[in-house]
Amino acid sequence: MKLYSFPCASREPHELFAALSRHSYSLFFDSADRHHELARYSYIVFDPIETIEAKNGTVCIRGAEGKITLQGRGIDCVRDRLKIHGLDKRSHDHLPPFQGGAAGLFGYDLTRDLEKLPAMAQDNPEIPDMAVGIYDQVFGYDHQQKTGWFIVHAEDKSSARTHFDHFIQLTGETPGQGPATSSQRWQSSHTRREYERAVQRVIDYIHAGDIFQCNLSQRFESRLPEGFDTWAHYLRLRQVNAAPFAAFMNFGAVKISSASPERFLLVRDRRVESRPIKGTQKRDRNEAADRLNRARLENSAKDRAENMMIVDLLRNDLSKVCEDDSVEVPVLCRLESFAKVHHLVSVIEATLKTDQEPADLLQACFPGGSITGAPKVRAMQIIEEMESKRRGPYCGTLGYIGYDGAMDTNIAIRTLVYQGNTVSFNVGGGIVADSVTAIEYEETLSKAEAIFDSFEAAADNSAPATAP
Protein backbone atom coordinates (compact mmCIF):
# COMPACT_ATOMS: atom_id res chain seq x y z
CA MET A 1 0.00 0.00 0.00
CA LYS A 2 1.22 3.48 -0.85
CA LEU A 3 -0.02 6.87 0.25
CA TYR A 4 -1.65 9.06 -2.40
CA SER A 5 -3.04 12.54 -1.95
CA PHE A 6 -5.36 14.76 -3.96
CA PRO A 7 -5.81 18.49 -3.34
CA CYS A 8 -9.49 19.19 -3.16
CA ALA A 9 -12.36 21.27 -1.94
CA SER A 10 -12.76 24.92 -1.51
CA ARG A 11 -15.68 24.15 0.80
CA GLU A 12 -15.33 24.24 4.57
CA PRO A 13 -14.89 20.79 6.20
CA HIS A 14 -18.17 21.02 8.13
CA GLU A 15 -19.98 21.48 4.82
CA LEU A 16 -18.30 18.40 3.37
CA PHE A 17 -19.06 16.31 6.46
CA ALA A 18 -22.82 16.98 6.37
CA ALA A 19 -23.48 14.10 3.97
CA LEU A 20 -21.22 11.75 5.94
CA SER A 21 -22.65 12.62 9.35
CA ARG A 22 -25.30 9.90 9.05
CA HIS A 23 -22.76 7.15 8.36
CA SER A 24 -21.66 5.03 11.29
CA TYR A 25 -18.01 5.58 12.22
CA SER A 26 -17.81 8.84 10.32
CA LEU A 27 -15.81 11.22 12.51
CA PHE A 28 -15.18 14.95 12.27
CA PHE A 29 -12.31 16.60 14.15
CA ASP A 30 -13.21 20.25 13.95
CA SER A 31 -10.92 23.20 14.68
CA ALA A 32 -14.04 25.28 15.06
CA ASP A 33 -12.48 28.23 16.91
CA ARG A 34 -10.67 29.90 14.02
CA HIS A 35 -9.20 32.57 16.29
CA HIS A 36 -7.33 30.09 18.49
CA GLU A 37 -3.65 29.64 17.73
CA LEU A 38 -3.98 25.83 17.69
CA ALA A 39 -7.04 25.64 15.45
CA ARG A 40 -5.16 24.98 12.20
CA TYR A 41 -6.30 21.55 10.98
CA SER A 42 -9.67 19.80 10.69
CA TYR A 43 -10.13 16.17 9.65
CA ILE A 44 -12.85 13.91 8.30
CA VAL A 45 -12.56 10.13 8.42
CA PHE A 46 -15.15 7.60 7.27
CA ASP A 47 -15.58 4.01 6.10
CA PRO A 48 -12.94 2.41 8.40
CA ILE A 49 -11.03 -0.76 7.51
CA GLU A 50 -12.22 -2.14 10.82
CA THR A 51 -13.70 -0.98 14.11
CA ILE A 52 -12.51 -1.77 17.63
CA GLU A 53 -14.87 -1.44 20.58
CA ALA A 54 -14.00 -2.20 24.21
CA LYS A 55 -16.27 -2.61 27.21
CA ASN A 56 -15.30 -3.84 30.68
CA GLY A 57 -12.16 -5.63 29.50
CA THR A 58 -13.71 -7.25 26.41
CA VAL A 59 -12.57 -6.06 23.00
CA CYS A 60 -14.58 -6.61 19.81
CA ILE A 61 -12.99 -6.13 16.39
CA ARG A 62 -15.18 -5.98 13.28
CA GLY A 63 -13.65 -5.95 9.82
CA ALA A 64 -12.98 -7.98 6.70
CA GLU A 65 -12.21 -11.03 8.82
CA GLY A 66 -15.61 -10.84 10.48
CA LYS A 67 -16.04 -10.36 14.20
CA ILE A 68 -13.25 -11.17 16.67
CA THR A 69 -13.78 -10.99 20.44
CA LEU A 70 -10.94 -11.11 22.92
CA GLN A 71 -10.09 -10.16 26.49
CA GLY A 72 -7.56 -7.41 27.02
CA ARG A 73 -6.84 -3.73 27.17
CA GLY A 74 -8.43 -1.53 24.53
CA ILE A 75 -5.38 0.70 23.97
CA ASP A 76 -3.12 -2.38 23.63
CA CYS A 77 -5.44 -3.66 20.91
CA VAL A 78 -5.31 -0.35 19.02
CA ARG A 79 -1.51 -0.45 19.12
CA ASP A 80 -1.50 -4.04 17.81
CA ARG A 81 -4.01 -3.39 15.04
CA LEU A 82 -2.07 -0.35 13.83
CA LYS A 83 0.96 -2.61 13.41
CA ILE A 84 -1.07 -5.26 11.59
CA HIS A 85 -2.45 -2.66 9.18
CA GLY A 86 0.89 -0.85 9.03
CA LEU A 87 0.45 0.90 5.74
CA ASP A 88 2.69 3.75 4.61
CA LYS A 89 4.32 4.90 7.86
CA ARG A 90 6.21 7.80 6.36
CA SER A 91 5.19 11.34 7.21
CA HIS A 92 4.53 13.57 4.22
CA ASP A 93 5.38 17.08 5.33
CA HIS A 94 3.27 18.90 2.75
CA LEU A 95 0.11 17.24 4.05
CA PRO A 96 -1.87 17.80 7.28
CA PRO A 97 -0.28 15.76 10.12
CA PHE A 98 -2.96 13.03 10.37
CA GLN A 99 -2.50 10.84 7.30
CA GLY A 100 -4.36 7.67 8.34
CA GLY A 101 -4.45 5.42 11.37
CA ALA A 102 -6.67 4.96 14.43
CA ALA A 103 -9.26 7.55 15.44
CA GLY A 104 -12.22 7.76 17.77
CA LEU A 105 -13.22 7.70 21.41
CA PHE A 106 -11.20 6.59 24.43
CA GLY A 107 -13.80 7.02 27.18
CA TYR A 108 -13.03 7.82 30.82
CA ASP A 109 -14.04 4.34 31.99
CA LEU A 110 -11.32 2.78 29.86
CA THR A 111 -9.17 3.60 32.88
CA ARG A 112 -10.49 0.37 34.44
CA ASP A 113 -8.16 -1.43 32.02
CA LEU A 114 -5.29 0.34 33.77
CA GLU A 115 -6.28 0.82 37.42
CA LYS A 116 -8.30 -1.14 39.95
CA LEU A 117 -11.29 1.03 40.90
CA PRO A 118 -14.40 0.32 42.96
CA ALA A 119 -17.68 -0.33 41.12
CA MET A 120 -20.19 2.00 42.78
CA ALA A 121 -21.55 4.32 40.11
CA GLN A 122 -24.18 3.15 37.59
CA ASP A 123 -22.77 1.99 34.26
CA ASN A 124 -24.48 2.34 30.87
CA PRO A 125 -23.91 -1.03 29.15
CA GLU A 126 -24.79 0.36 25.71
CA ILE A 127 -21.98 2.93 25.62
CA PRO A 128 -18.55 1.45 24.81
CA ASP A 129 -15.53 2.40 26.90
CA MET A 130 -13.63 2.74 23.63
CA ALA A 131 -14.84 3.06 20.03
CA VAL A 132 -12.07 3.41 17.45
CA GLY A 133 -11.85 2.92 13.71
CA ILE A 134 -8.75 2.13 11.65
CA TYR A 135 -8.86 4.46 8.67
CA ASP A 136 -6.96 4.43 5.38
CA GLN A 137 -8.84 7.48 4.04
CA VAL A 138 -8.61 10.96 5.56
CA PHE A 139 -9.71 14.37 4.43
CA GLY A 140 -7.45 16.95 6.07
CA TYR A 141 -8.01 20.68 5.84
CA ASP A 142 -5.37 23.32 6.60
CA HIS A 143 -7.26 26.42 7.72
CA GLN A 144 -4.11 28.53 7.58
CA GLN A 145 -3.40 27.64 3.94
CA LYS A 146 -7.12 27.24 3.15
CA THR A 147 -6.30 23.98 1.41
CA GLY A 148 -7.91 20.54 1.67
CA TRP A 149 -6.32 17.18 0.89
CA PHE A 150 -7.87 13.78 0.35
CA ILE A 151 -5.30 11.26 1.64
CA VAL A 152 -5.65 7.55 0.89
CA HIS A 153 -3.54 4.41 1.23
CA ALA A 154 -4.08 2.30 -1.91
CA GLU A 155 -2.51 -0.41 -4.07
CA ASP A 156 -1.99 1.93 -7.00
CA LYS A 157 -2.92 5.36 -8.31
CA SER A 158 -5.94 4.08 -10.18
CA SER A 159 -7.40 2.58 -7.00
CA ALA A 160 -6.59 5.76 -5.08
CA ARG A 161 -8.40 7.80 -7.72
CA THR A 162 -11.47 5.59 -7.37
CA HIS A 163 -11.54 6.28 -3.62
CA PHE A 164 -11.16 10.00 -4.24
CA ASP A 165 -14.00 10.05 -6.76
CA HIS A 166 -16.19 8.17 -4.27
CA PHE A 167 -15.40 10.76 -1.57
CA ILE A 168 -16.31 13.60 -3.92
CA GLN A 169 -19.55 11.87 -4.81
CA LEU A 170 -20.46 11.23 -1.17
CA THR A 171 -19.73 14.73 0.05
CA GLY A 172 -21.57 16.29 -2.88
CA GLU A 173 -24.86 15.11 -1.49
CA THR A 174 -26.92 17.60 0.47
CA PRO A 175 -29.03 15.73 2.99
CA GLY A 176 -32.04 17.42 4.50
CA GLN A 177 -31.88 18.42 8.12
CA GLY A 178 -34.28 17.35 10.82
CA PRO A 179 -35.10 19.41 13.89
CA ALA A 180 -31.95 20.41 15.76
CA THR A 181 -33.64 20.99 19.08
CA SER A 182 -36.66 22.10 21.01
CA SER A 183 -37.09 23.60 24.43
CA GLN A 184 -35.19 21.29 26.75
CA ARG A 185 -35.98 20.46 30.37
CA TRP A 186 -32.81 19.23 32.01
CA GLN A 187 -32.58 16.80 34.88
CA SER A 188 -29.39 16.91 36.91
CA SER A 189 -27.81 13.98 38.71
CA HIS A 190 -27.50 16.25 41.78
CA THR A 191 -29.67 18.93 43.31
CA ARG A 192 -27.76 22.02 44.30
CA ARG A 193 -27.75 20.89 47.93
CA GLU A 194 -26.52 17.40 46.97
CA TYR A 195 -23.75 18.81 44.80
CA GLU A 196 -22.56 21.20 47.51
CA ARG A 197 -22.59 18.36 50.04
CA ALA A 198 -20.47 16.28 47.67
CA VAL A 199 -18.03 19.19 47.31
CA GLN A 200 -17.81 19.44 51.10
CA ARG A 201 -17.20 15.68 51.31
CA VAL A 202 -14.30 16.07 48.87
CA ILE A 203 -12.91 18.93 50.98
CA ASP A 204 -13.14 16.62 54.02
CA TYR A 205 -11.12 14.00 52.12
CA ILE A 206 -8.50 16.66 51.39
CA HIS A 207 -8.27 17.66 55.05
CA ALA A 208 -8.03 13.98 55.99
CA GLY A 209 -4.94 13.69 53.79
CA ASP A 210 -6.44 11.41 51.11
CA ILE A 211 -5.94 13.80 48.20
CA PHE A 212 -4.84 17.31 47.25
CA GLN A 213 -7.49 17.88 44.62
CA CYS A 214 -10.46 16.11 43.03
CA ASN A 215 -12.52 16.94 39.95
CA LEU A 216 -16.21 16.55 40.73
CA SER A 217 -18.99 16.74 38.12
CA GLN A 218 -22.75 16.68 37.81
CA ARG A 219 -24.62 15.24 34.84
CA PHE A 220 -27.48 16.88 32.97
CA GLU A 221 -29.87 14.69 30.98
CA SER A 222 -32.83 15.49 28.77
CA ARG A 223 -35.19 13.75 26.36
CA LEU A 224 -35.04 14.67 22.69
CA PRO A 225 -37.98 15.16 20.34
CA GLU A 226 -38.79 12.66 17.59
CA GLY A 227 -36.44 12.94 14.61
CA PHE A 228 -33.93 15.12 16.44
CA ASP A 229 -30.99 15.82 14.12
CA THR A 230 -27.77 15.44 16.13
CA TRP A 231 -25.56 16.77 13.34
CA ALA A 232 -27.73 19.87 12.94
CA HIS A 233 -27.46 20.37 16.69
CA TYR A 234 -23.68 20.08 16.54
CA LEU A 235 -23.67 22.89 13.97
CA ARG A 236 -25.59 24.99 16.52
CA LEU A 237 -23.13 24.07 19.25
CA ARG A 238 -20.05 25.08 17.21
CA GLN A 239 -21.81 28.35 16.38
CA VAL A 240 -22.61 29.14 20.03
CA ASN A 241 -19.36 27.81 21.52
CA ALA A 242 -16.62 27.47 18.91
CA ALA A 243 -13.73 25.48 20.37
CA PRO A 244 -10.27 24.57 19.05
CA PHE A 245 -10.64 20.83 19.80
CA ALA A 246 -14.26 20.27 18.80
CA ALA A 247 -15.59 17.07 17.27
CA PHE A 248 -18.66 15.19 16.06
CA MET A 249 -18.60 11.39 16.04
CA ASN A 250 -21.23 8.95 14.81
CA PHE A 251 -20.90 5.49 16.34
CA GLY A 252 -24.30 4.27 15.18
CA ALA A 253 -26.51 4.02 18.26
CA VAL A 254 -24.33 6.54 20.09
CA LYS A 255 -23.26 9.91 18.77
CA ILE A 256 -21.00 12.51 20.35
CA SER A 257 -20.64 16.27 20.03
CA SER A 258 -17.72 18.02 21.69
CA ALA A 259 -16.82 21.67 22.13
CA SER A 260 -13.61 20.98 24.06
CA PRO A 261 -11.14 23.81 24.58
CA GLU A 262 -8.44 21.48 25.97
CA ARG A 263 -5.66 19.52 24.31
CA PHE A 264 -4.65 16.35 26.13
CA LEU A 265 -1.65 14.97 24.21
CA LEU A 266 0.02 15.97 20.94
CA VAL A 267 2.93 14.06 19.34
CA ARG A 268 4.93 15.36 16.37
CA ASP A 269 8.28 13.77 15.52
CA ARG A 270 8.36 12.28 19.06
CA ARG A 271 7.95 15.73 20.60
CA VAL A 272 5.09 15.69 23.11
CA GLU A 273 2.83 18.54 24.26
CA SER A 274 0.03 18.68 26.81
CA ARG A 275 -2.07 21.76 27.70
CA PRO A 276 -4.00 21.21 30.94
CA ILE A 277 -6.73 23.67 31.88
CA LYS A 278 -7.46 24.53 35.50
CA GLY A 279 -9.09 27.75 36.65
CA THR A 280 -12.31 29.19 35.20
CA GLN A 281 -14.14 32.51 35.21
CA LYS A 282 -17.36 33.25 33.35
CA ARG A 283 -17.31 35.67 30.38
CA ASP A 284 -19.40 38.81 30.68
CA ARG A 285 -20.93 40.77 27.79
CA ASN A 286 -20.04 43.99 29.60
CA GLU A 287 -16.44 44.76 28.67
CA ALA A 288 -15.48 46.24 32.03
CA ALA A 289 -17.01 43.34 33.92
CA ASP A 290 -15.25 40.90 31.60
CA ARG A 291 -11.87 42.57 32.28
CA LEU A 292 -12.58 42.29 36.01
CA ASN A 293 -13.29 38.57 35.66
CA ARG A 294 -10.02 38.13 33.77
CA ALA A 295 -8.11 39.94 36.50
CA ARG A 296 -9.79 37.87 39.19
CA LEU A 297 -8.72 34.66 37.48
CA GLU A 298 -5.17 35.80 36.82
CA ASN A 299 -4.77 36.84 40.46
CA SER A 300 -6.53 33.85 42.02
CA ALA A 301 -4.10 31.98 44.27
CA LYS A 302 -6.57 29.11 44.52
CA ASP A 303 -6.88 28.66 40.73
CA ARG A 304 -3.14 28.94 40.18
CA ALA A 305 -2.48 26.32 42.88
CA GLU A 306 -5.07 24.05 41.28
CA ASN A 307 -3.41 24.42 37.88
CA MET A 308 0.11 23.82 39.23
CA MET A 309 -0.96 20.61 40.98
CA ILE A 310 -2.12 19.19 37.66
CA VAL A 311 1.04 20.38 35.91
CA ASP A 312 3.05 18.39 38.47
CA LEU A 313 0.81 15.35 37.96
CA LEU A 314 1.29 15.49 34.18
CA ARG A 315 5.04 15.97 34.53
CA ASN A 316 5.07 12.76 36.54
CA ASP A 317 2.91 10.88 33.97
CA LEU A 318 5.04 12.08 31.04
CA SER A 319 8.27 11.08 32.77
CA LYS A 320 7.17 7.40 32.61
CA VAL A 321 7.61 7.27 28.82
CA CYS A 322 9.66 10.38 27.94
CA GLU A 323 13.40 11.00 27.88
CA ASP A 324 15.03 11.80 31.20
CA ASP A 325 15.23 15.54 31.88
CA SER A 326 13.20 16.36 28.73
CA VAL A 327 10.01 17.37 30.58
CA GLU A 328 9.63 21.15 30.55
CA VAL A 329 6.93 23.72 31.37
CA PRO A 330 7.35 26.65 28.93
CA VAL A 331 3.98 28.19 29.87
CA LEU A 332 2.49 28.21 33.37
CA CYS A 333 -1.02 29.49 34.12
CA ARG A 334 -1.54 31.64 31.02
CA LEU A 335 -5.01 33.17 30.71
CA GLU A 336 -6.93 32.18 27.57
CA SER A 337 -10.40 33.42 26.69
CA PHE A 338 -13.03 31.26 24.98
CA ALA A 339 -16.61 31.95 23.88
CA LYS A 340 -18.22 31.57 27.30
CA VAL A 341 -15.40 31.32 29.86
CA HIS A 342 -11.84 32.39 30.65
CA HIS A 343 -9.39 29.62 31.59
CA LEU A 344 -5.88 29.28 32.98
CA VAL A 345 -3.85 27.07 30.63
CA SER A 346 -0.35 25.62 31.08
CA VAL A 347 1.88 23.95 28.48
CA ILE A 348 4.08 20.95 29.24
CA GLU A 349 6.53 19.55 26.69
CA ALA A 350 8.72 16.45 26.58
CA THR A 351 10.43 14.04 24.18
CA LEU A 352 9.03 10.53 23.78
CA LYS A 353 11.62 7.79 24.34
CA THR A 354 12.66 5.98 21.17
CA ASP A 355 11.37 2.64 22.47
CA GLN A 356 7.93 4.08 23.31
CA GLU A 357 4.98 4.66 20.97
CA PRO A 358 2.14 7.21 21.11
CA ALA A 359 -0.20 4.47 22.38
CA ASP A 360 2.21 3.92 25.30
CA LEU A 361 2.12 7.65 26.01
CA LEU A 362 -1.69 7.66 25.97
CA GLN A 363 -1.75 4.71 28.35
CA ALA A 364 0.80 6.28 30.71
CA CYS A 365 -1.16 9.54 31.00
CA PHE A 366 -4.74 8.25 30.75
CA PRO A 367 -7.09 9.72 31.85
CA GLY A 368 -5.91 13.32 31.90
CA GLY A 369 -5.03 14.60 35.35
CA SER A 370 -6.94 17.85 34.86
CA ILE A 371 -10.21 15.93 35.09
CA THR A 372 -9.31 13.50 37.88
CA GLY A 373 -7.31 15.29 40.56
CA ALA A 374 -4.21 14.40 42.53
CA PRO A 375 -3.06 11.83 43.45
CA LYS A 376 -4.83 10.44 40.41
CA VAL A 377 -5.91 6.96 41.52
CA ARG A 378 -7.29 8.04 44.91
CA ALA A 379 -9.06 10.95 43.22
CA MET A 380 -10.70 8.52 40.77
CA GLN A 381 -11.83 6.31 43.65
CA ILE A 382 -13.51 9.32 45.25
CA ILE A 383 -15.09 10.32 41.92
CA GLU A 384 -16.60 6.83 41.68
CA GLU A 385 -18.03 7.30 45.18
CA MET A 386 -19.42 10.81 44.60
CA GLU A 387 -20.85 10.61 41.08
CA SER A 388 -23.92 8.38 40.79
CA LYS A 389 -23.35 7.50 37.11
CA ARG A 390 -20.13 6.51 35.38
CA ARG A 391 -18.68 9.19 33.19
CA GLY A 392 -18.59 7.24 29.91
CA PRO A 393 -17.12 9.42 27.12
CA TYR A 394 -16.96 12.50 29.41
CA CYS A 395 -13.39 13.24 30.53
CA GLY A 396 -12.01 10.60 28.23
CA THR A 397 -10.28 11.51 25.00
CA LEU A 398 -11.31 12.10 21.36
CA GLY A 399 -8.46 11.95 18.90
CA TYR A 400 -6.23 10.06 16.52
CA ILE A 401 -3.02 8.01 16.46
CA GLY A 402 -1.43 7.96 13.00
CA TYR A 403 0.44 5.10 11.35
CA ASP A 404 3.48 7.38 11.33
CA GLY A 405 3.36 8.09 15.10
CA ALA A 406 1.56 11.45 14.93
CA MET A 407 -1.08 11.88 17.61
CA ASP A 408 -3.48 14.57 18.77
CA THR A 409 -6.18 14.18 21.40
CA ASN A 410 -8.50 16.40 23.37
CA ILE A 411 -9.93 16.15 26.85
CA ALA A 412 -13.59 15.28 26.26
CA ILE A 413 -15.17 18.07 28.29
CA ARG A 414 -18.13 20.21 27.10
CA THR A 415 -19.12 16.95 25.40
CA LEU A 416 -22.64 15.65 24.72
CA VAL A 417 -23.69 12.03 24.29
CA TYR A 418 -26.82 11.33 22.23
CA GLN A 419 -28.31 7.89 22.68
CA GLY A 420 -31.77 7.04 21.38
CA ASN A 421 -34.07 9.88 22.39
CA THR A 422 -31.84 11.14 25.20
CA VAL A 423 -28.92 13.54 25.46
CA SER A 424 -26.58 13.97 28.40
CA PHE A 425 -23.46 15.86 29.38
CA ASN A 426 -21.36 16.45 32.50
CA VAL A 427 -19.82 19.62 33.85
CA GLY A 428 -17.44 19.75 36.75
CA GLY A 429 -14.55 21.49 38.40
CA GLY A 430 -11.48 20.91 40.51
CA ILE A 431 -12.07 20.92 44.26
CA VAL A 432 -9.22 21.97 46.55
CA ALA A 433 -8.93 22.68 50.29
CA ASP A 434 -10.12 26.29 50.07
CA SER A 435 -12.96 25.67 47.62
CA VAL A 436 -16.29 27.30 48.46
CA THR A 437 -19.16 24.92 47.83
CA ALA A 438 -21.55 27.51 46.36
CA ILE A 439 -18.89 28.90 44.02
CA GLU A 440 -17.99 25.42 42.80
CA TYR A 441 -21.63 24.76 41.97
CA GLU A 442 -21.91 28.06 40.09
CA GLU A 443 -18.77 27.23 38.12
CA THR A 444 -20.39 24.06 36.78
CA LEU A 445 -23.38 26.11 35.59
CA SER A 446 -21.05 28.57 33.86
CA LYS A 447 -19.52 25.69 31.94
CA ALA A 448 -22.96 24.30 31.09
CA GLU A 449 -24.29 27.62 29.83
CA ALA A 450 -22.95 27.27 26.29
CA ILE A 451 -24.57 23.86 25.95
CA PHE A 452 -27.89 25.14 27.26
CA ASP A 453 -27.59 28.04 24.81
CA SER A 454 -26.92 25.69 21.90
CA PHE A 455 -30.38 24.22 22.40
CA GLU A 456 -31.98 27.62 22.83
CA ALA A 457 -30.34 28.94 19.67
CA ALA A 458 -32.17 26.41 17.54
CA ALA A 459 -35.53 27.14 19.06
CA ASP A 460 -37.78 30.03 18.19
CA ASN A 461 -36.84 31.75 21.46
CA SER A 462 -40.43 31.64 22.63
CA ALA A 463 -39.68 28.77 24.99
CA PRO A 464 -36.20 29.06 26.52
CA ALA A 465 -34.32 26.03 27.81
CA THR A 466 -34.88 25.22 31.44
CA ALA A 467 -32.06 24.47 33.84
CA PRO A 468 -32.72 23.27 37.36
**Residues recognised as catalytic:** 262, 278
Give the CA distances from residue 102 to residues 44, 78, 96, 142, in Å, rounded to whole numbers and listed in that order. 12, 7, 15, 20
Residues 257/248, Cβ–Cβ less than 8 Å? yes
CA dist., res. 131 & res. 209, Å (int):
37
Helix segments in 107-258, DSSP class H = 157-171, 192-207, 230-240
Give how far Cα 60 sits from Cα of 127, 319, 348, 453, Å. 13, 32, 35, 37
Distance (Å, rounded) from C-alpha 40 to C-alpha 142? 6
Alpha-carbon distance of 14 to 339, in angstroms, equals: 19
The type of residue at 152 is: V
User: In sequence order, which residues have a C-beta less than 8 Å from that of residue 262 and are 6 or more positions away?
Assistant: 245, 275, 276, 277, 345, 368, 370, 410, 411, 413
**Sign of the C-alpha dihedral, residues 394, 258, 19, 13?**
negative
Instruction: Sort strands 50-55 and 58-63 into parallel, antiparallel or unpaired.
Output: antiparallel
Asked if 372 and 380 touch (Cβ cutoff 8 Å), the reply is: yes
Whole-angstrom distance, CA of residue 192 vs CA of residue 151: 49
Please provide residue 294's backbone torsions phi and psi, each rounded to the nearest 5 degrees: -60, -45
Task: Name the nearest CA neighbour of 416 among 243, 191, 266.
Answer: 243
Helices 437-458 and 192-207 pack at an angle, to 10 degrees, of 140
